[in-house]
Structure 1
Amino acid sequence: MSESSSAFDYDLFVIGGGSGGVRAARIASSEYGAKVAMAEEYRMGGTCVIRGCVPKKLMVFAAGHGATIDEGAEYGWTVTKGAFDWSVFRHRLDAELNRLESIYTRNAETAGVTIYHQRATVAGPHEVRLADGRQVRARHILIAVGGTPFVPEPYRGLGAWTSNDVFLSDSLPETILILGGGFIACEMAGIFQGLGSSVTQMYRGRQILRGFDDDLQEHVAAALVQQGVALEVNTDLTSLEKLADGRFRACDTQGRERVFDKVLFATGRVPNTAGLGLEEAGVALGRGGAVMVDDFSQSNVPSIFAVGDVTDRIQLTPVAIREGHAFADNVFGGKPVTVDHTNVPSAVFTRPEAGTVGLTEEQARESHDIEIYQASFRPMQTAFIGAETKALFKLVVDKPSRRVLGCHIVAPGAGELIQIAAVAVKMGATKDDFDATIAVHPTMSEELVLMRKPSR
């Protein structure tokens, strides 16, 4: 680049204070000595820490304790189960999020990063405009603004919830309609049901968790229904009206008209690029406003990069963190580092949880001669007290090479289990490697190494 360093206020300006942006800023500054600034218009920590993964998982924990109390009684404990007090939980949740936000801020500042607590937009290939009117110049600009919930056009402005709002509520609704079939919708359905709300989940598709393995979908759907969620697939809204008392009247394609205290749209997320100035700066955007980048997270404008959900590659926090670190290594450390987006594990925190890594059975059949090893059973802990919810352990195996192409689990703690299984799948482990491993007994996960004959 012909311009000298003195022509820039910063070597790097990061727009967005979430996990990916903070990682990139910290590594660029602390490890490579770059002069770095970042801007965050809401709260440091981004979606995951403030209004996503962390508060959601804490709500999952809270929702699960009711069933744990019931199970304890079945095991012989004398228990008195009262009502869930949302205000107590909400107070502790707010305190925890404040603590985490301060940690994110402190870690970035300790690394030498200057933080602007305001909105920033792109004003040119090297220019960033702050909300207070200041304009700064940066040799490199990193877009790390994440995604934002999508609400279909007819229903915007009605005051329905998105995933951003549920953590800010002053009370729990008695009845709630959750629209969507993705992991956020399914998790929220399980959370609100577990906390005592009457939950209806409506999804226009054939089955929830589109894109996940078919057997995993069926198991999670059955568990939601068993817990009391009214799951309505092949159904969509035809109209939604907010009533004078604050409730919502919903009409659907099945001809029903019902009233709910709250409506939650969990109908997907889109890159948060609206009004960011990227198109005006010449940056190519893809579907839904995603920043188009190459393997090194570089856009078509050489000085502008993007990581995380805003690129719509894989919308997972650990992926954003890895991409942010790789960006800093590449641009400021001179290391040609890229991120491998294959065999990335993920989890759905329903009850029981679902974990997955690698190819689904349907994906694998398109290009492989495969065998399926599958076990479905009632786990010992809950079978003892007569519960009907089943666990699922499934391996998708390439028949000629015996390599495990995919692993899918629905079971308590599946998020923890799939992390370990993902190491084996990423390493290219074969079914013979699994078979050679001695089981830990009695556990649910021993099924992973005990399935000797293919089910199909």
Structure 2
Amino acid sequence: MAEYDYDLFVIGAGSGGTRASRVAAAYGAKVAVAEEYRIGGTCVIRGCVPKKLLVYGAHFAEDLKDARRFGWNVPECDFDWAVLRDNVLADVDRLNGLYTQTLHNNGVETFIERATVTGPHEVTLASGKTISAKYILIASGAHPHVPDFPGSELGITSNEVFHLDTLPKRVLIAGGGYIANEFAGIFNEFGSHVTMVNRTDVILRGYDHSMRDRLLQISLMKGIDFRFHAEFNSIEQNADGSFKVSLTKHEPFDVDCVVFATGRVPNTKGLGLEEVGVQIDSKGAVQVDADNKSSVDSIYAVGDVTNRVQLTPVAIREGQAFADTIFGGKPHQVDYNCIPSAVFSHPPLAAVGMTESEARNKLGSVAVYTADFRAMKNVLADRNERALYKMVCDGMTGKVVGLHMIGPDAPEIMQAAAVAVKAGLTKDAFDQTVALHPTMSEELVLMK
């Protein structure tokens, strides 16, 4: 008889857990997954996928207006939030079914219930069933952080945005990161009055200062309000159902919805990890080595629960590397250098490599090239919104060490450009490439 019930038991069926499960099973391992919510995880169910669909929906607000400048007799159009919401949720159901089917097709057994770790080789399901496994993989993801102050329970997070009954007329979004800026753009385009509240005066910390400043400028121009250097004192519900928000250093004001986008916390609480010897850091993340192994030899972790790089493609890479290394006989580690990222704000922003400040601190000698222009479509649409591209190069070798863009379709352009940066190409290699005209992406090879 087998020593364990399973070769691998995975807690969490998000992007990293699903990839690790199906790849391990394809190598011949006996695999089971426990998921307490829905197969697919945050990205598919209540994160990047449904959010991107809302972004697409929001873009029509400007596209319909711009169409008139291109000769289309577009009438005044009303927006029906319920139609978009229900269609997005229906697509989430479709994807949930596909992810579930993928696990089934690969012979992975699924348990739709919570699982906790009760030993180095043991998990216990919410139903009380105890299961043994040679390896346990923690892929439980993360959840939105909600600050603690009087009335904070009256707010919602990105999880609940997709289920709003009606579109709020006045929205407060707390935070300055990518989730906050994305939902600010979405609600603003849908016609809500948006106020962003941030503890500092910096949005999108970690991105290049030129891109941050440009997004702030455009957001202000679009009518988004900002309250900087603000901490929450309290939220109180008014008689009409709206909320009175009290902040430090600012006058109180009323809104119809408060959305917290103040970071994400690894899902380790109550999993029993510390009880079996798994080391958890001060932020609640599982501490792992380069091979995703925790302080307990039989327990591994991938994805947001490790709080390394909270991006879906990174979780997928980590799940793949884990399965290849442990079950496939092809050991390798994830390379975290030059990971491209995007913010699906209005307009979107994308980046790969070092910011200008990081490059100056690390390299000393730096050459910076920029393109500041108005896209052709915006010119004819009479939309005064400029795109900005920045290339950061090693001043000694000409190697491109960072590329940053804000403007229409910036993330779509960045994916291909990131290959060049990852490959270590030089500014000269870009210069020698013939421009593809007329496109926005040609600015990449024309920067001065």
Same structural fold, with TM-score higher than 0.5 when normalized by the shorter chain: yes
Contact 2:156–2:260 under 8 Å retained in 1:
yes
Q: How many Å separate the matches in 2 of 1:296 and 1:126?
A: 19
- 1:188-203 correspondence runs (5 A): 188-203=183-198
Contact 1:247–1:259 under 8 Å retained in 2:
yes
- The answer to whether 1:421 aligns with 2:413 is no
- The answer to whether 1:389 aligns with 2:385 is yes
- The answer to whether 1:57 aligns with 2:45 is no
Contact 2:204–2:212 under 8 Å retained in 1:
yes
- Corresponding residue SS for 1:371: strand
Contact 1:226–1:389 under 8 Å retained in 2:
no
Q: How many Å separate the matches in 2 of 1:251 and 1:140?
A: 49
Identify the residue that residue 328 of structure 1 maps to in structure 2.
Answer: 323
Q: How many Å separate the matches in 1 of 2:16 and 2:22?
A: 10
From the superposition, tell whether residues 287 and 414 of structure 1 become closer, same or farther in structure 2 (CA, over 3 Å): farther
Kindly provide the CA deviation profile for residues 305-340 of structure 1, in whole angstroms up to 9, marking residues without a partner as x: 000011111100000001001100000012221000
From the superposition, tell whether residues 441 and 146 of structure 1 become closer, same or farther in structure 2 (CA, over 3 Å): same
**Deviation at residue 293 of structure 1 after TM alignment:** 0.5
Identify the residue that residue 131 of structure 1 maps to in structure 2.
Answer: 126
Of 99, 105, 109, 1:110 maps to 105
Gaps of 5+ in 2: none
Q: CA RMSD in A?
A: 1.2
- The answer to whether 1:11 aligns with 2:20 is no
Identify the residue that residue 294 of structure 2 maps to in structure 1.
Answer: 299
Of 432, 436, 441, 2:432 maps to 436
Identify the residue that residue 359 of structure 1 maps to in structure 2.
Answer: 354
Contact 1:224–1:231 under 8 Å retained in 2:
no
Matched letter for residue 8 of structure 1 = Y
Contact 1:158–1:242 under 8 Å retained in 2:
no
Q: How many Å separate the matches in 2 of 1:90 and 1:80?
A: 23
From the superposition, tell whether residues 157 and 276 of structure 1 become closer, same or farther in structure 2 (CA, over 3 Å): farther
- The answer to whether 1:346 aligns with 2:341 is yes
Contact 1:243–1:249 under 8 Å retained in 2:
yes
Q: How many Å separate the matches in 1 of 2:440 and 2:447?
A: 12
Kindly provide the CA deviation profile for residues 222-252 of structure 1, in whole angstroms up to 9, marking residues without a partner as x: 1211222112323332222233443211012
Runs of 4+ in 1 over 6 A off after TM superposition: none
Q: How many Å separate the matches in 2 of 1:141 and 1:168?
A: 33
- 1:62-211 correspondence runs (5 A): 62-154=57-149, 158-211=153-206
Q: How many Å separate the matches in 1 of 2:76 and 2:196?
A: 26
Gaps of 5+ in 1: none
Q: How many Å separate the matches in 2 of 1:293 and 1:401?
A: 35
Q: How many Å separate the matches in 2 of 1:117 and 1:323?
A: 23
Q: Percent of counterpart pairs with the same letter?
A: 51
Contact 2:151–2:234 under 8 Å retained in 1:
no
TM-score by length of structure 1 reads 0.96
**Deviation at residue 117 of structure 1 after TM alignment:** 0.3
- 1:238-387 correspondence runs (5 A): 238-368=233-363, 369-387=365-383
Matched letter for residue 161 of structure 1 = I
**Deviation at residue 124 of structure 1 after TM alignment:** 1.2
Aligned length: 447
- The answer to whether 1:29 aligns with 2:33 is no
**Deviation at residue 73 of structure 1 after TM alignment:** 1.1
Q: How many Å separate the matches in 1 of 2:213 and 2:118?
A: 48
**Deviation at residue 157 of structure 1 after TM alignment:** 5.7
Of 219, 222, 225, 1:224 maps to 219
Matched letter for residue 66 of structure 2 = E
- The answer to whether 1:236 aligns with 2:236 is no
Q: How many Å separate the matches in 1 of 2:150 and 2:440?
A: 44
Kindly provide the CA deviation profile for residues 164-220 of structure 1, in whole angstroms up to 9, marking residues without a partner as x: 100011111011100000000000000001111111111111221011100010111
- Corresponding residue SS for 1:139: strand
Q: How many Å separate the matches in 2 of 1:230 and 1:157?
A: 21
- The answer to whether 1:399 aligns with 2:363 is no
Q: How many Å separate the matches in 1 of 2:17 and 2:150?
A: 32
TM-score by length of structure 2 reads 0.98
